Amino acid sequence: MFFNSLEFAIFFPIVFILYWLVSQKLFLRNLLILIASYVFYGWWDWRFLFLIVISSIVDFIVGQKLHKTENLQKRKGLLIISLIVNLGFLIYFKYTNFFIESFVDSFRLFGKQLEVSTLNIILPVGISFYTFQTLSYTIDIYRKQLKPTKDWLAFFSFVAFFPQLVAGPIERASHLLPQFYKTYKFNYNLVKSGLLLMAFGLFKKMVIADRAAILVNQVYNNPTDYYGYETILATVLFAFQIYCDFSGYSDIAIGIARTMGFDLMKNFDSPYFSKSITEFWRRWHISLSTWFRDYVYIPLGGSRNGTYRTYANLFIVFLVSGLWHGAAMTFVVWGAIHGVFIVIEKALTKLRMAIFKKSKALNYLIALPFTFFIVCFAWVFFRANSFKDAVIIISNSFQISETGNLFSLGLKKSEFNLLFVMIVLLLVFEIIHKRFEVTHVLNKTYLPIRWSFYLVIVFCILIFGIYGENTVKEFIYFQF
Catalytic residues: 325
| Residue 302: count of CB within 10 angstroms of its CB | 16
Contact 451, 199 (CB under 8 A): no
Contact 167, 475 (CB under 8 A): yes
How far apart are the C-alpha atoms of 63 and 80, rounded to whole Å?
A: 12
| Residue 345: count of CB within 10 angstroms of its CB | 17
How far apart are the C-alpha atoms of 239 and 216, rounded to whole Å?
A: 10
How far apart are the C-alpha atoms of 62 and 54, rounded to whole Å?
A: 12
Cβ contacts of 262 within 8 Å, gap of 6 or more: 161, 163, 176, 179, 184
Cis peptide before 169 (omega within 30 of 0): yes
For residue 261, give the nearest of 203, 176, 199, 202 by alpha carbon.
Answer: 176
Contact 55, 127 (CB under 8 A): no
For residue 249, give the nearest of 208, 281, 202 by alpha carbon.
Answer: 202
| Residue 326: count of CB within 10 angstroms of its CB | 20
How far apart are the C-alpha atoms of 133 and 177, rounded to whole Å?
A: 11
| Residue 181: count of CB within 10 angstroms of its CB | 11
Phi, psi values for residue 146, rounded to 5°:
-150, 140
Cβ contacts of 97 within 8 Å, gap of 6 or more: 118, 119, 121, 327
For residue 82, give the nearest of 96, 97, 70, 64 by alpha carbon.
Answer: 64
Q: Which amino acid is at 362?
A: L
Q: In the chain, how long is the greatest CA-to-CA distance?
A: 74
For residue 149, give the nearest of 63, 219, 74, 209 by alpha carbon.
Answer: 63
Cβ contacts of 283 within 8 Å, gap of 6 or more: 268, 269, 270, 271, 273, 274
Contact 37, 160 (CB under 8 A): yes
Cβ contacts of 226 within 8 Å, gap of 6 or more: 219, 234, 396, 401, 404, 409
Q: Is 270 left (phi over 0), alpha (psi -120 to 50) or beta?
A: left
Burial 194-227 (b: 16+ CB within 10 A, else e): bbbbbbbbbbbbbbbbbbbbbbbbbbbeebeebb
